[in-house]
Each structure stands twice: as C-alpha cells, then as structure tokens.
Structure 1
Amino acid sequence: MCPCVVIHCRVKGIVPFGESPFPTKIGEFPVDVREGYCDFASNQDKLQLGQKIGPMNTQFDFGTLGGFVDLPGSRKGFITCAHVVCPNDILQNGNVQNFVENNEVMIADKSITTQREPVGMVKKAAFQFGEETQVSVDAALIELCSRFPESGNFAIDWTQDNKEKIRKMGFSETNVPTFSNGETTSISSDNIRNDLIKCGAATGLTLGRLRSMETHAFIVNKDVKFSDNVCKFYHQMEVIPLVYPSDNFTVKSFPPFITHGDSGSFVFMIVHNSPVILKCVGLAVAVTSYGSCLMTPVDKVLSALGLPSDCLMKFNPSEAAFNTSNGQGGVSEETLTRLLQRMQSNISQELAALEDNINSRTAELAGRVSMIEQEMEEQRKESRILSWFNSLCSIM
C-alpha cells in the first residue's frame, strides 16, 4: 500500500467559485480526497415540529412541540399543552399562570438524554376546564432561548420500518409534509372531510379525519383523567384515525391518531396534495381509550394565550434551506441534498402533469380528426349521389 495525502471536504465534485481544484499530487505523494468533516459534540440541531420536549427537572414526562410562533421584539416561541409543562396539582387548582409567573419553568429537548441546557422557558399557560359555556383550553407558550428553527420541517423518523408507514400515507423522503406557510383555517362544511395530519413525539406522523355528520363536526364534552383527578373538557372536536381498506388491522391492533406523549401536537388539514399544503386547525390535548384525539380549535388556543391569529411562524422553504449554514456561511450537504431532492420531486410532478395534459390533448385532437374525416366522407357520399342524380336528369 502506497502512502498518500488525505484531504477531507464536505461534498466531492463541487469547486466553489474563485477556488482551484485540489491537487492530484503533493510532492511525490498522491492526494486522496474524501468526504468528511468534524463538528463539536454539543447538539446544535435546530428544533423541529413534533419534537419531544418537557420540563428539565423531570426524567420521564414529555410531550410534543406543536408549532412555532413569532413574538414581539423579534422573539420566537412554540406552543404545547399546559399539562406537559405544569405539575398536576397546579393544573387542578387552576392557577397555572400564577405558577408560571412565579417559577422559571425551563423546557428541554427530551429526545436527547444528555441535554443539560434548556431550549426555552414557559411564559404563559392556560388550563381552562369545567365551564359549560366556554371552549376548554389546555395550552402553554414557551419562549425560545436556543436552537431557533429555520424551517417548517417535522421531526420524522426515517428508519426502514417507518419509511413503509410514511410511504402508505403518500409521502416519501423526497415528498415530505412541511408547515411553512404559517396559515390557519377553521372547520367548515367545505373542508370537513379533508384529511388531517399530526406529528407527535410518540407516534410520529399519523392521518385522521374529524368525527362528523354530513356537513358539521361533532362537538364533544368529555371527562379527561390525569393522575388521580378528572376534569371536564367542553366544546372539543374529535379526530379519529384514518385507515384505508387495504390495511389489515384488527380491533386490537387499530392504530391510534395520538397516544400518550403526543399531547401538544398541532393538527393540520391537508388542503392540497401535490404539492402538500397544510393549514393548522387545532391542538391535540387528550387521547381516548379507542385511539381518537380531543382537539381544541387553534383560534381558541391562540386567544387563550393572548396571541394574534397570524402569529404562527412562516418559512420560505428555499430561503430556509439556503440559510442552514455549515458554520462558515456555506450550505450544509444535508440541506443541499434535501433541497435538490425537493426540486427533483417538483420537476417530476410537473413533467408528469405535462405528460398527462399532452396525452389528453392528443386524444382530444385524434377524436376531432376522426370526426372531421367522417364528415368529409359523408360529404363525398352526398357529392357522388348528387352527381349521379344530375347525370340521370340530363339523360332524361
């Protein structure tokens, strides 16, 4: 084996403007260029929707990061459930905001077992229940202090088993659902049968639909149990898991829309399939024994937290991708790959649509040509008959 000089770079085959290619030899030694890099071992990944979060001073309790919000003064935050970040006795007494104001409730990323630094602090909480004339709300606002988001991507597990599950939903690594527009929508007779989607810390991506009758959603009032206590939640909507006829599930293996640990997930409506466009409709707060979800409408959640209706964070997918730096003002390999995959997917979809349109127009034109040919043949027949009749008349 001959000795060589090894040079590492992030991406082979790309030479930045103004720079020269690596040399093939340094002195008498050949150069071997390899892809690789070295980072500090601290976690610097940006937060994502659906991530596992919880109070720093607890080892096992966790919930889900629902959605990001813009706060005054260029500050950033996210929303989850109050019962994810506040103790049960505080919830039962109904003084959650007083507890938040008098205690620094720090929130950590629970997906990292060695996490020692908080990602944010609880600034406001609402746990309103038991009032029959009001919509019950279980929500908390956390102001971020680190790992600020740069995209509306979901924290999706791309292990091999999960890939198949996500593929059945109609998504893939090159066609992933994201929430970048920051838009909300209300449930109406026009969209009541649209599919819903959520990304939870426990169950990941799941699809569902509103429990409804004809043109309106069922409004449910249910007793919700937490610890040894029970509270009544009024005027909630119920999301049931979506299962396709081809799925071979038994009653016992029926997949839930949410489970314990998914509390705090934002629930999104799929308003367009290709490309996937989502709008937020609510916050997942509780799970039933049969796998459905109690969802509080998003407008009630924002109002209870004193937030404007247009506060959900907006991301430009392409700009967010190019702002993901490798620490030196460049674009990371992972981000560049994801962006190129998305561009390839969009181009493929546009080409497929163009091909379908061409095929449709070709068939339409072929039909018209056939009709014209038939009409011309009819005219030729009429012309021959008329000529024969004139000839006959001249003889007579």
Structure 2
Amino acid sequence: MYSACHLTSFCYGVVDSKNDQLVFGFRAESFDRIHVTISPSLKASIDLKTIRKATQESKTVDVYIGNSLDLPLIDRKRLFNVIDKYSEELMEKHSNLNWMDVSPVLSHQTWLEETPCIVIYCSCKGIRPLDEEVFPRELDGVKVDVREGFCSLFSVTDPKEYNDPLRTGISIGGKEMEGCGSLGTFVHEAEDKKSVGFLTCQHVFSSPEIGKSVVQPSLDHYKSNTDPEKTICGKIRSMCMKPVEYNGKEIGVDVAYVAIDNRIPKEFEFPDIPESMITEHLQQNPRRMGQPILHLDNNHIGLTIYKLGQATGLTKGTLGAVRALVNFGMDERFKNVYQVSNKDKAAAEPGDSGCSVFIANKNTLSVIGLLLGGTGDCKTFFVIPIGAALQALEPKLEIHEFSSVNHPHGGACTSSSDTDASTSETAHPTQLSKSVSPFSGKK
C-alpha cells in the first residue's frame, strides 16, 4: 500500500467498532493526492480526513453549550482529578487517544444530555486500532464521551515584522531553518546576569543545532531584504526535547535557550496591541515581570491564564488539567503539561509555539510556562511548565525581570535575588485569584 499526501501524513490499520471491518485510516494537514493498492481478497474500507476539519458533532456541541452552559468549578476539579488518575494508563493503552477534557454535555447519536462528563478526544471515532480495547464508558462513576479531535505543535511559516528591541510574543525562526514560532520569556544566566537571552520551543526550529543562528523575524518574511544578516538576533545555546524529572513528576519538555547579542531590551515592552484587546482583557499597566510560577496543582484549576504569541496576539483562557497528557502523533507525546482552554474563541494558533504563558497580579506578570501546541479547533492549548523547562537547560537560567522604578513604561533588570528560579514553591490560590493586571500597547 502506498500513500502520497501533502504535508505530514500517516496511515494505520483499524477496526470498525460497529461492523468489525478492517479500515485503513489516513490523517494529514491536507491532501494533495492519495494512491492506495489493496489486495482484492482483503475486505476493507478507506477512511480519509484532514485534521483541521471540525466534525458536525463538535459543531453541534459548541452551539449547544454556547456562552451560558458550563461546569461549576467544583465539578471541573472533581472530573480533572479523575482524568489525572487514569490518563496515563489510557494513553498507554490507546494509540488513538490524543487528549482528555471535561464537558457539561454528553453527546449521543441524535441528542445531547446535560450531565458532567469526561471527554476522550481521539483521531477517529467509531474505529479502533488493531489489538486495542474499546474506550471505557465510565471512569469512577463518571460518564465518558468520545469525540474526534486533533492536536498539533503550533509552529508555522507565518512571520511578522522586524522588532528593535526584541519583545516577547514576536516572530522568530532559524537562519537557514524552515518554520517559525514565538519569542517566549526573557532570561539571563544565573552566573552571568549580563548574558541575556530568551526561551522558546525547540520544535520551532526544523533542524536545530547548538550554535546555529536565530533570526527575527523568520527569513521567509524577510527574504526580500538585501541584507538578511540584519535579522540575526542570537544563537541557540542550549535545548531539550525529552521528559525530565521535576517536582516528583516526569514532565515532557520542549525548550530552547537562545543567547542574544543585539536588539537586547532594556525596558519591559510588548509589541503593539490593539486597543480593543487591551480593553477586553486588561485594566492596568504592570510594573514589571515578576518571579515565575514554577509549579501549579489541581487547586488552581479555573485560574485565568494569558498568552502572548505572534499568531494570535494576546488571548486568555482558563486553566484545566495541570497534569495533562497529550498526543501530537508521530510518537510526540507529552506528560504532565498544563491545559488551557477558551470555549468562546481561538486561544492560540499555529505560529504561537514557544510564546510566554503567564498569570497577572496587581503589578507583575508571572510566567507559568511556554506554549507547546494545541487542538484542531484552536480553543485549547498545552503548556510546558516553566520550572521543568528551566531545569532541563544548561547553564542555569533565571527569568529576566524588568522594573519601572525609573521608567513608567518599563525599566532595567532587577537584582539577582528577585529572579532566582531555583525554588520550587507552589503559587498560592489567593494570590493568583486576584484581578489580573494589564499592560499598555505602547512600544
């Protein structure tokens, strides 16, 4: 059997759960052409679907839930605790499982039942891989709904404009490397605080190597310029794409540290943000970047989370599972990452990979992690905890803070005692539940 698909694709043999018939399933971003040869003696059917296409079931559920129907926080915490208990075991048993979530409605074939339930999102509903069991119908007495849904890493070739100085949330890419993502949080080396750089995801770069140059924006955007060397902003100093042990858990990490040698920011600045976005999400101008929140737990489910990426700008969502398991396909599975969702509209899109994800207190922003990727409907994204990301890199790094003592719209770096990221404290719920603080859209 042979398949020729546009972009990344994969094929697998599965069994139709209802008809007990062999099915060949194809999944891809999009299809150019496919040629399949099957022996006449083999009774089988073909299932072909692009991963970006939302199912009618998903559309029906979204319309039904709308803006008014949601789970109470106590039910969300209870159901996410059940997910936390079984997700790793289920992910090992079911290669078709991509991620798990909660929902206020259970979807039946022709109607929707209003009841708290756990949702299993799989690559193809109704068929199962060979030699695998069917999904459970209940977990600890909680009903389980099965829906189709896909996840993908959110890097893309869609760069934005040149920024001087560099700012968080802008487009970056690799010199002579395809793809781009977002500049995450600024850091400095613990032993040499003048050595400034930033974090992003390693998968943002198609073929990363230590010492390779990083550009802002990506070369695809800047290719018409007569001096492409001008876009170089630093070099990859350290990177990691593997699970690490952190805070007693194995956490999937995908991170790169880029040491920068030009366009170094001296003040706490963000790219221009539309006034409507500031009015909608934020209320005051934060004074500085605060200490990172190295660890969150299930007590923080329901917390408001922000992210600033080059594809979708500033968006917010709600913290769901803090130990989510996610399957991006092609053996790209990540354990114990954060899950953030916005049921009303897109929270992140391709191109936001590597961007900073944070909470906002009265006068500071506190990074909780880096955006890894998200679901096909772009309403849910997954976050690498910042504590695990920092631990995975050498040399030891600290979040680079900015103070506005002498600068009303930003400021110089704070002292080293303010930026120590070596402690492993958990954010206190009462601190994180305060009203979030905004920042201006000025450069």
TM-score normalised by L of structure 1: 0.54
Deviations for 1:225-246, whole angstroms, at most 9, x for unmatched residues?
4xxx3411111110112x6xxx
Deviations for 1:203-241, whole angstroms, at most 9, x for unmatched residues?
110011111xxxxx442212114xxx3411111110112
Deviation for aligned residue 1:45: 2.1
- Whether contact under 8 Å (1:79, 1:264) holds in the other structure is yes
Number of the residue aligned with 2:365 = 278
Deviation for aligned residue 1:148: 0.6
Give the one of 319, 332, 338 matched to 1:237.
Answer: 338
Give the one of 212, 216, 223 matched to 2:327.
Answer: 223
Which has the higher Rg, Structure 1 or Structure 2? 1
CA distance in 1, matches of 2:409, 2:316: 30
Number of the residue aligned with 1:66 = 184
* Percent of paired sites with the same residue: 23
Q: Partner of 1:50: helix, strand, or coil? A: coil
CA 1:82–1:179 in 2, change beyond 3 Å: closer, same or farther? farther
Number of the residue aligned with 1:56 = 175
CA distance in 1, matches of 2:292, 2:376: 31
Deviation for aligned residue 1:121: 0.1
CA 1:44–1:54 in 2, change beyond 3 Å: closer, same or farther? closer
Deviation for aligned residue 1:301: 0.4
Unaligned runs of 5+ in 2: 1-161, 413-436, 438-443
Give the one of 113, 124, 127 matched to 2:238.
Answer: 124
- Whether contact under 8 Å (1:210, 1:238) holds in the other structure is yes
Deviations for 1:72-116, whole angstroms, at most 9, x for unmatched residues?
3321111000001242xxxxxxxx6xx42xxx3101111772353
CA distance in 2, matches of 1:106, 1:164: 36
Deviations for 1:32-71, whole angstroms, at most 9, x for unmatched residues?
xxxxxxxxxxx7821111111111224x621111011112
Deviation for aligned residue 1:287: 1.1
Please state if 1:78 is matched with 2:198: yes
Deviations for 1:320-354, whole angstroms, at most 9, x for unmatched residues?
569989xxxxxxxxxxxxxxxxxxxxxxx9xxxxx
Q: Partner of 1:319: helix, strand, or coil? A: coil
Please state if 1:203 is matched with 2:312: yes
Q: Partner of 2:250: helix, strand, or coil? A: coil
1:140 maps to a residue whose letter is A
CA 1:108–1:187 in 2, change beyond 3 Å: closer, same or farther? same
CA distance in 2, matches of 1:182, 1:156: 24
Q: Partner of 1:138: helix, strand, or coil? A: strand
Please state if 1:138 is matched with 2:260: no
CA distance in 1, matches of 2:407, 2:291: 14
TM-score normalised by L of structure 2: 0.49
1:261 maps to a residue whose letter is G
Give the one of 387, 406, 420 matched to 1:299.
Answer: 387
Higher strand share: 2
Deviation for aligned residue 1:149: 1.1
Count of residues paired in the alignment: 239
Number of the residue aligned with 1:166 = 278
CA RMSD between the two structures? 3.0
Unaligned runs of 5+ in 1: 1-42, 88-95, 212-216, 244-253, 326-348, 350-396
Higher helix share: 1
Give the one of 74, 88, 110 matched to 2:217.
Answer: 110
CA distance in 2, matches of 1:319, 1:169: 26
Q: Partner of 1:206: helix, strand, or coil? A: strand
CA distance in 1, matches of 2:356, 2:317: 13
Counterparts of residues 1-396 of structure 1 (less than 5 Å): 45-58=164-177, 61-71=179-189, 72-73=191-192, 74-87=194-207, 99-100=209-210, 104-110=211-217, 113=222, 114=225, 115-117=228-230, 118-128=232-242, 134-157=250-273, 162-171=274-283, 175-177=284-286, 179-188=288-297, 191-211=300-320, 217-225=321-329, 229-241=330-342, 254-272=344-362, 276-291=363-378, 292-306=380-394, 308=396, 311-320=398-407
